Structure 1
Amino acid sequence: MRVTHWLHALTGNAAPLTPALLFEAALRTGFTVATGRDDYGEIAPGLPADIVLLDWEAMAGDVIDGMVEETDVVLTRATRRHVRGLIVDGREVVRDGRVPGVDLENLERELLAQVRAAGPSMRALAPTIARSQATLHDFYGSGEHLKGE
């Protein structure tokens, strides 16, 4: 959303894409396009509900009340570190900034062990990867990809 906002803000358009319009497009219109449904916007039993809970204090602790629109703060400052909770289609996906039931530290340890174990076979591929990169460099450097346009 942030990139979309920046791209449209730079066009010099007489009717700029305001944060309110951007949120409308991303949330309500995006929901309708993705699902073909128009029952977005209500948190009620049986209805789809995707909710992100942000740590407002961490994101906007220096903001003076009434001086800045909340949508501007979210649009310009929200990052993954501010996500405290996420509910998708009524199911809790993130709680207290973590994925319930996922032991991230153990997964990272296991992944690192697998990567290290694959080291010899990966190093054996290094010459092939280097040749491939050189071929791609030469191809794009020569402009071959632009011929025939």
Structure 2
Amino acid sequence: MPGAKLRFTLAASLTALTLATVGVGTAHADQPRMYSARNDLQQAIGALQAAQDDKGGHRVDAINLAQQAIDQVNLGIEFAGGPPDGFFVPPLPPMGPAMDNANAWLQMAVGELQAAEDNKGGHRETALNLAQQAIDQTNVGIQVGGPN
């Protein structure tokens, strides 16, 4: 009888450990979307910084909004218990003038944020709104100063 109790206790412990491990894995299931969105936002900032002129201040506004979106993505990853770094498959870089490239990267970031599951304490939605505002500023900058 003591051997049966020991086997039961061992089996129950292994089952609990397995279920706990599975729960941890599924909690981070959509984190690659957040990591990818962060990368897209970083690429957008690089493209905005490469633009030839100030675009009436809209380029700088777009950079600031994209950086705020990155901060919110990081907070969302942290809120969801994800590690600060993670794997994602980077997309092919957009080709063309800097402001158009920035717009493309921002659009990809919006897509990733929309595809991410859960709101991560409101940070995903805030990042999404900031990225969309950065797109608006980029588009106005293109109208004011062109796509380069």
Please indicate the TM-score interval, normalised by the length of the shorter structure: under 0.3
Higher helix share goes to which structure? 2
Higher strand share goes to which structure? 1
* TM-score relative to the length of structure 2: 0.20
Higher RCO (C-alpha under 8 Å, 6+ residues apart): 2
Q: Which has the larger radius of gyration?
A: 1
